[in-house]
Structure 1
């Protein structure tokens, strides 16, 4: 299967050896970040630094002033961690090494946007604001994200794009110095804590025939036993309406973003979404209906465990890329990549994604190289 790996521009810029090292892994594609959230990242082989601190969500190229001039919501430029056109410089070096470059665009995940424009954020049933999670129901947020998707995706030389968090974000962010693990929250609890009650979402729940205040009270009631050590309760008949609003809203963003990217891109440009087959999921792999998203985009990038639901709706030319963590220190298992990739292929995966060559140790990369050679 065709394999690709994720990389940041700062893994490549300033390190002349990086492109050939990546090409030698046996990957055909590099998915290179062009718009990314705040992070602290290790660069274990770079000759000039070991830790890169991206202080806020930013585009890693110079944004187009004609697109953004006069707009309240606009992308932030990177600081010293990715100055100038870091994406373009890295992309050129990777292409010169024979690698196909696709852009990696993070959309609804931006702490600085929420800090500077508080009204853009998801607000939970308790009134707590999540500044890292722009609410995609807000028309201004949706317009911003669609334009960001176009600009950050269709970069010079890019053969395609992978859109991350093109949907709802929520509680599970791993925020700076995160201290939210005192009470274990499963899928249902995470979902309830991620339901938004900003004015746009309150209006949306009303369109589904639900009183938003009653829904918020029902969410708090369902979660009340959790804080006391018990099990989450029922949502008292509100669940279907809440999910219907969120699904409709996420679909609208995905449809608009993919259509806008296609309109701006050259022929053959491939558009993939990072996706989960369960519509209620929030985060980097946004909740989707597999049939809908595969009718919309050229395919998905999804965790290996969730390949099968997408494969069931795939056409012959659909991309179903199984995403494998290969950094041992972050819970990955490069030593089992051969068996894991074969299992994913048997479930319908057509490609592999490896997260993340820039973060991985030399021993992790050696295991990846051996696995990809064995897989052919």
Structure 2
């Protein structure tokens, strides 16, 4: 079973032992970050460092000045955590071991963009901005992200790409010193708190036949039971259908444009996968999609079990259904159960595995992965 693992360039760049270690796990490919959001990460085996602080969302290679000349919104180069062409150096070292290298591109998740250009962000029904969540309905945001998809995906030597956050982002977001868990919010509440009311979305709701002011008021009213502990959020009545129709149409148009841009820039045979959820209204890294549509658009998806089963009914013989399995014990993964989890994923329709995340895993975790992959075959 074809197996890949996620990796950051800084896990390899500057560590001569890393490529052979990874190749020795029994992997087929590495999905290497080319554009990534801000993070703080461990590098448990690197000979020089142990903590990498990526201070803002950035491309991990030198962006093409010609592509972005004259544009107010453009990708941010990385700082000292990934200097120069860190992606290229890591990709070359990994390819030398025989591993296939695919790019990993995060799109609609960028806190620095929202801080420096507040008008690009999702705005909830209460008027709160989410600076980490670029609104994909904004024309200038779409232009940035579609251009980023093409440039970051098709790096020299990459055999394919995996596009993360290729759709709506919303309320849910890991944040420093987070204090948002005092009131549990289920999927319904998360969706209502993620509906955007920026000028572009307000116009979109109006185009679908919903008054945006009435819709915002309905969202606020629907959330009242969640805030006072009386029960789950309510519905939006007749306004719900046009609101969700706008969201689904916008996400689909963005996904179409991003994949088309990658295909136009890529050589023949280049593989395009989306990190996806079969619920079309889902927000986040695994963006909501229409399974039938996205599997006709891209070569496949990367999804977390049991969500993978939602795509299996729409898969063709050549469709890639990659199960995203956690292998870092400290992050809740279970590398010692990898063979069993892979078997369950295969029953759900998985054709490949993705292991999250080889660079963050301890030596003991990787030892377990090596053993378990022999059993997977």
Identify the TM-score tier after normalising by the shorter chain. Answer: over 0.9
How many residues are paired up?
A: 376
Q: Measure, in 2, the Cα distance between the counterparts of 1:55 and 1:198.
A: 27
**What is the alpha-carbon distance in structure 1 between the residues aligned to residue 354 and residue 81 of structure 2?**
25
1:193-233 Cα deviation digits (max 9, x unpaired): 00000000000000110001100000000101111112212
CA distance in 2, matches of 1:45, 1:61: 23
1:221 aligns with 2:218: no
| 1:336 corresponding residue in structure 2 | 337
Q: Please state whether the residue corresponding to 2:105 is helix, strand or coil.
A: strand
The corresponding residue for 1:88 is: 88
User: Which residue in the other structure is 1:319 paired with?
Assistant: 320
Q: Deviations over 1:237-295 (max 9, x none)?
A: 22221111001000001000101100110000000000000011100000001000000
In structure 2, the residue corresponding to 1:370 is in which secondary structure?
helix
Q: Using the alignment, how far apart are the partners of 2:53 and 2:282 within structure 1?
A: 28
Q: Is the 8 A contact 2:304 2:324 kept in 1?
A: yes
Q: Which position in structure 2 is the counterpart of 1:237?
A: 238
Once the 2 structures are TM-superposed, how far is the Cα of residue 329 of structure 1 from its aligned partner?
0.8
Structure 2 contact 276–302 (Cα < 8 Å) conserved: yes
The question of whether the paired residues in 1 share the 8 Å contact of 2:309 and 2:348 is answered with: yes
Distance 1:278 1:374 in 2: 33
Which residue in the other structure is 1:27 paired with? Answer: 27
Cα RMSD after superposing both structures:
0.6
Residue number in structure 2 paired with 1:276 = 277
Shift of 1:176: 2.4
Structure 1 position 123 matched with structure 2 position 118:
no
The runs of at least 4 consecutive aligned structure 1 residues that moved more than 2 Å come to none
| SS of residue in 1 equivalent to 2:32 | strand
Q: Secondary structure at the match of 1:294?
A: helix
Is contact 2:137-2:201 (8 Å) kept? yes
Q: Matched residues in 1 for 2:86 and 2:251: separation?
A: 31
| 1:74-127 deviation per Cα after TM superposition (whole angstroms, max 9, x unaligned) | 000000000000000000000001110000000000000000000000000000
Gaps of 5+ in 2: none
Measured after TM superposition, the shift of residue 177 of structure 1 is 2.2
The answer to whether the aligner puts 1:153 opposite 2:153 as a matched pair is: yes
User: How far apart, in 1, do the equivalents of 2:219 and 2:22 lie?
Assistant: 47
User: Is the deviation greater in 226-235 or in 342-351?
Assistant: 226-235
1:353 aligns to 2:354 (yes or no): yes
CA contact (8 A) 2:272 2:298 kept: yes
Q: Secondary structure at the match of 2:306?
A: helix
Partner of 2:212: 212
In the alignment, what sits opposite 2:69? 69
After TM superposition, the score normalised by the length of structure 2 is 0.99
Q: The residue matched to 1:133 in structure 2 has which SS?
A: strand
Aligned-partner Cα distance in 1 for 2:69–2:257: 21
Per the alignment, residue 141 of structure 1 pairs with 141
For 1:230 and 1:170, the matched residues in 2 are separated by 24
SS at the partner of 2:104? strand
Deviations along 1:143-186, one digit per CA (max 9) or x if unpaired, are: 11000000000000000000000000000011222211111000
CA shift for structure 1 position 236: 2.1
The CA deviation at 1:347 is: 1.4
